[in-house]
Structure formats: structure tokens, C-alpha cells
Amino acid sequence: MKHFIGIDVGTTGAKALLIDEKGSLIARSTYEYPLHTPRPGWAEQDPEDWWNATVQAIREVVQKSGVKPGDIAGLGLSGQMHGSVFLDAKNQVIRPAILWCDQRTADQCAWITERAGQETVVGETCNPVLTGFTAPKIVWLRQNEPDAYSRVRKVLLPKDYIRFRLTGEFATEVSDASGTSLLNIRERRWSKKMLAALEMPEEWLPQVFESPVPSARISKEAGSLTGLAEGAPVVGGGGDQAAGAVGNGIVTSGVISVTAGTSGVVFASLDSPAMDEPLRTHTFCHAVPGKWHVMGVMLSAGGSLRWYRDAIASEEVTLAKRRGVDPYELITAQAATVEPGCEGLIFLPYLTGERTPYPDPDARGVFFGLNLRSGRAHMARAILEGVAYGLRDSLEIIKGMGVDIKQVRASGGGARSDLWRQIQADVFNTELVTIAVDEGPAFGVALLAAVGAGVYDSVEAACQQTITLKDRTQPVPANVATYEHFYGIYRSLYPALKPLFADLGRAVR
């Protein structure tokens, strides 16, 4: 039987999983690595950390599974989007990668928009230029680290750097390339107009493939490090959101996903490119050939809960280690002791700025409504509710675009928590459905590898034959009414605080 590996180079760690040709999970492994914030609003990682974690994760799933290397018929790659890896003429990394959640490039976004013209930017890329995207990072390097910029010969996205290390080839695919501000979204190729505006040579960029198409093969050196067979094909893969959508079966119109991972995403598949008129959402190429998607993105969903774990919940972390459980179990159990609405405590989850519906790098996290009764349980629940409010912002925009919504599927860490799933159902006032195997982007790109190997005729067929529904969470009418009231207050807070966020941003830059 053929087997396939999916690799996800995430923000917190690299995950590898191995499935058989029927989509059954055989083995998984994850290795974490640090995120560095050398200045407020900055976020960087060392690509070597990604590589070391990926090698360890692949080696472990091969060993765990007992599958012979020759029976692994393909690999798929996914990863955090937008990050920039700069390579020199010897293919060495020049500086730490600047990540998707980094907010240093507001001035460069404005420069690109003025230089290319708003009509060209939107006409070519279907999106505004945002601080998280890749092109502004390239311009930032030119303007702030000219010595490093003078050495650049290749610019790669995170997963595509791992592809290079695995295969020796430079390649990417349409879904991840969509988030660079350098791809013509409608034509699914690099935009000559945008490259000309940036005075950037196209040879700096890798070749663009469709997501299920084989793009390179495992090298002898990588095979010896990972336990993979030399020559195993690696398909294009997908950016983490498009790949996660494949893994969740969001490949046809009418079914949308709500994902609470490090970031939070509401995602809908489109048969043709469509845009929110005020450009609050993203319109990208899907990992399904000939399809597109629209998504709203909040930058700190599960990332907000992780911040709470690391910065505030040290007692729960210590107790979890003693009991041998995940600290998030204790945190959410504590949050469940507080009533819906959190006695008026509201959290704005803008810890790393925001994208949808507010493309504002200066936005910051806020607890609003603290009082003497507020404790850690209240803060934990306020974070869960605040993230759900933020996700609803995107859901409302997508509804307003006229996108047909027949079913909402929940995925990510927010779907694995009964409490958080119920909060989302109540805040959205809609049924949430989960699937039997929720392994996110890694599962999605493993399916893409199976399509590339000819096991399935199409991505849609792969999803239809491997993905089954599991649980349904219904909204509770009393909770819906409570959250409707507090969501209105939540919506009023950002407009009131926006000028203060800008003042604060100027003060710390």
C-alpha cells in the first residue's frame, strides 16, 4: 500500500504525519522551536530551527510507522504563510526570517501602494498590501539593511525553504504565493507589474506550481537525514490556510471553515475570484487547481491563549506537569466556571496587531471591564470569547459578500475544546461541525501528495473519500442573546481606541 507524508512548518513547531492511501493516520510527530521578538511588533525565526525540527519529525514518523521508505509515494509541504527567507549566492540564509505576524512594514506597504498604484495592486493581487505580506519585507530589507539586501539572490516562503533543503530545488505553489503581494491572483503566475514596481528580478522567486503537482524530488542527502527514499516526489503543497482547508474538506462552495490555531481564520472556497469591496478579507488562489478562496484572518487567536498560558497561567502549567495533562485543559476547565459574557469582561485579541476587519499593525490587546471579582478564570474565558468575537467579524463580512454558507466546520485547537467550540457556536449563532480526523494542514498536503501520485483523480475526490463528519455543536439560545449584547460592545471598542493605538505605536517605535 502507498503511504504519504504531510509536513507543516508552523509558527510554533514542525509537524509531520504519515497516512495510507485511504487517508488513515498511521503516525505523527511534532517538534517545537522558538519565536523571537527583538523589538515590539517584530517576529522572527531561524530557518535552521525549522529544518532541524522537520528532519526530526520526519525521521520519527518513519520510525514509528515501520513503513518502508520505498512505500512512501510522496510528500506534501505546508507552512506559515508570508514569511521571508533571504538566501545569498551560495544559498545561505542571510538573516533571520521575518514572519507573517511581524508588523514593522507599515511604511513599506504605503510605499508599494503608492509606487505601483492602488488600481494595479488590487487588480493584480486582489488584496491590499499588508504588513504581514512578503513584498513589504523585501522593501524593508532594502531600506533598513542595505548590506544584507545587496546579497539577496533568492526569496523563499518558509515551507519552500524546507523544500529546498529536502530537494535542492526552488519551487512554490499558488496558494502560498498568493500572500506575497507579488502574484497575479487571477492568472496564477508572478505579476510582472508588481515586480517592476518593486524593481525586483523575477529570478529571485521560485517557480510556481499548482498544489497537487510534483515540484521536486527528495535528494540523497535529505534521504539519509530523514529516512526517506531518494527520489520520492514532493508536490507543490499549500499555505497553511489553504492546506488546512483541504484537510477539512473545504474544497467546494457552500461549506466554510472556522479555524482557531495560532491565528484565526474564516475560510470559504470560491469557483472564481471575488473580493470584499472594502478589502477587509483576503482573496487568494486555493490549493485546488482552478479554484480560489476568500478568508478573514485575525492574527492572535490561539496565540492569545498561548500568551495567557505563558505570561499568566504559571500555576496551571505547573499543576499540569504534575498531573501529566495539557495545561490548556486546566485553563479551559477554569474558564468554564465563569458564566457566558464573563460578567462584562471583554478581551480584544490584537496582541500582534490585526488584519480582519482592521488592517492595523498598531492595534493591541486589551482587557476591558476588569473589576475586583476578575480573576484568572474570568481572563481565560474572556480570551476564548474575544477570539470568537473576532472570528465572527470575518464570518459577517463573508456573509455580506453573498457567499453561500450551508455548513460551518470548526478546526484547530478551538475545535478540540468542548467549551471553546460551544462559545463559537453561541457567538456565531450557528451549528458547528467537526470532522473525524482534524490534523490540519499536514493532513491536507498529505492528501495533495496522494492526488499528485494518482491515487485520487482530484483534490475534491480525495476529500470526499477520506473526510467524515464527527460532532455537531448547537448554539444555546440564552447564550446567543448574551453574546449578541456583548459582541456589540466588543465591536465598539476598536473604533474608540484606534487613535490611542496609533499614539502608542508612535511612542514605542
pTM: 0.90
User: Is 404 part of the annotated catalytic residue set?
Assistant: no
Amino acid occupying residue 77: L
The three grid cell numbers given for residue 463, joined into one nine-digit string = 476529500
What is the Cα–Cα distance from 180 to 159, expressed in whole angstroms?
A: 14
Low pLDDT (below 50) residues in the chain: none
How many CB atoms within 10 Å of residue 373? 10
The CATH number that domain 3-247 falls under is 3.30.420.40
Task: Give residue for cell 512548518.
Answer: 9
Backbone torsions φ then ψ of 86, nearest 5 degrees: -100, 125
Strands 346-348 and 97-98: unpaired
How far is 247 from 78, CA to CA, in rounded Å?
A: 11
Distance CA 465, CA 467 (A): 6
What was the pLDDT predicted at 65? Answer: 95
Cell digits of residue 252: 467546494
Whether the Cβ atoms of residue 27 and residue 14 lie closer than 8 Å to each other: no
The interaxial angle of helices 376-400 and 302-311, nearest 10 deg, is 170
How many Å from the N-terminal Cα to the C-terminal Cα in the chain? Answer: 56
DSSP 8-state code for residue 93: B
Give the per-residue pLDDT at 209: 98
Catalytic residue among 8, 160, 176, 240: 240
* Predicted pLDDT at 279: 93
Do the beta carbons of residue 338 and residue 381 sit within 8 Å? yes
The pLDDT score that the predictor gives to residue 182 is 98
Residues shown for the chain: 509
260 and 28 Cβ atoms separated by less than 8 Å? no
What is the longest distance spanned by two Cα atoms in the chain?
Answer: 63
pLDDT at 242: 95
Query: In this structure, what C-alpha cell is assigned to residue 256?
Result: 466554510
Could you give the residue range(s) of every CATH 3.30.420.40 domain in the chain? Answer: 3-247, 302-434+471-500
Which residues face 480 on adjacent strands?
none
Q: Give the contacts of 406 (CB within 8 A, at least 6 positions apart).
A: 254, 255
Strand partners, 298: 264
CA distances from 404 to 181, 253, 269, 398 (A): 27, 7, 10, 9
The three grid cell numbers given for residue 415, joined into one nine-digit string: 475545535
- Domain 302-434+471-500 adopts which CATH fold? Nucleotidyltransferase; domain 5 (3.30.420)
